[in-house]
Amino acid sequence: MNDEAKNGTIAVTPPPVYSRLFSVWYRHFRVYTKNLVSNGLPPFIEPLFFLAGVGLGLGNYVGLIDGAEYINFLAAGVIVPPAMFTSAYECTFGTFIRLEFDKVYDGMISASITIYDLLIGEMLFAGTKSLFFSFAVLTVVSAFGLIPSPVAVLCPLVGFMTGLMFAALSLFITSFVKNINHFNFYFTGLLTPMFFFSGIIFPLKDLPAPLRIAAEFLPLTHSASLMRSLCFGRFPVRLAFDLAYMALFTAVFGALAIRMLKKRILQ
């Protein structure tokens, strides 16, 4: 302090990190809730179509899966994809527009916000959206009595983790995308296959071994595994592995994304 005073340094107290993260989160929250009906209603409606179309229609031709009716198996599965997609959209198209078109990030980091606050706040908001989406789907499928275990109230937390994980991956993708149309490769090439091969609409155990092993590397597989365990109140050992995978994946891609976006945003 004395040294500083000698150099003519003034005393300044920037807001603490939690306050900065919250302010970034709050900016996104504010923008999102401006169109509450158009943004908030779809997650409640979508699972209805899914359950009716796939569950009732296809379900008649499917037998029991691990002792459960197909519609129950599917109901636990459909909580997962909206968490992935909402976070992926937010951190690809959303992030790209804020970064390149609206220049919102430049405005934000001119205030008392670091690049880390900006990107971690962004991930936390994507996680929050995913939490809300899985909550919405859980409400709907529970209303139909399709969720056997009360432990399922924890599903939105898995939704939050799923959101963080895909925010990290999506920001990483965004960090090197120069043309907004290139996100189509990410959605069609990576997210859509994940939707089909992560144990959401059918169990992975009957797949040929190479596919089954490949599926274990997909992040969504672990979200689906966790989500289904909570819905059925079963807790096999692999849950620890699922959790560890998600934590590690989020940390690695989050760090890479921040490192690369930092280079892109700071000149």
Partner 1 sequence: MTGSNFSQSRKKNSFTDDHRPGIGETAIAVNSVSKSFKELRAVKNVSFSVPRGACFGLLGPNGAGKTTMMKMLYGKSPRDNPEPGQIRVFGYDPLDNELEIKQVSGIVPQDDNLDVELSVIQNLMIYARFYGIKKSDAGERIDYLLEFMELTEKSRSRIRELSGGMRRRLIIARALINNPMLLVLDEPTTGLDPQVRHLIWDKLRKLRSDGVTILLTTHYMEEAFQLCDRLMIMHLGQTIMEGAPADLVRDNIERFVLEIYDSNCGEIAVSKNYRIEKSGGSRTLLYSDRIAVLEKLTEKFCSGGFYLRQSNLEDVFMKATGRDLNE
Q: 56 vs 111, which CB is nearer to partner 1? A: 111
Q: Are 79 and 231 in contact (CB under 8 A)?
A: yes
Interhelix angle 17-33/115-143, nearest 10 degrees: 50
The binding track of 92-121 with respect to partner 1, each residue x by CB under 8 A or -, is ----------xxx-xxxxxxxxx-------
Q: Which stretch binds partner 1 (CB under 8 A): 28-36, 58-66, 172-180, 235-243?
A: 28-36
Shortest Cβ distance from residue 240 to partner 1 (Å)? Answer: 38
Of 3-11, 56-64, 129-137, 167-175: span binding partner 1 (CB under 8 A)? 3-11
Residue 187 burial class via C-beta count within 10 angstroms: exposed 0-12, middle 13-18, buried 19 and up:
middle
Please state the length of the chain: 267
Q: Residue 74 interacts with partner 1 (CB under 8 A)? A: no
In angstroms, what is the minimal distance from the CB of 36 to partner 1? Answer: 14
Residues with Cβ within 8 Å of residue 45, at least 6 apart in sequence: none
Member of 1, 11, 36, 37 binding partner 1 (CB under 8 A): 11
Joined together, the tokens standing for residue 17 give 């990190």
Distance (Å, whole) CA 223 – CA 134: 11
The stretch near partner 1 (CB under 8 A) out of 21-29, 46-54, 146-154, 197-205 is: 21-29
State the greatest distance between any 2 C-alpha atoms of the chain, in Å, as a whole number: 81
Which residue ranges make up the site for partner 1 (CB under 8 A)? 4, 7-16, 19-20, 23-24, 26-27, 30-31, 34, 102-104, 106-114, 266-267
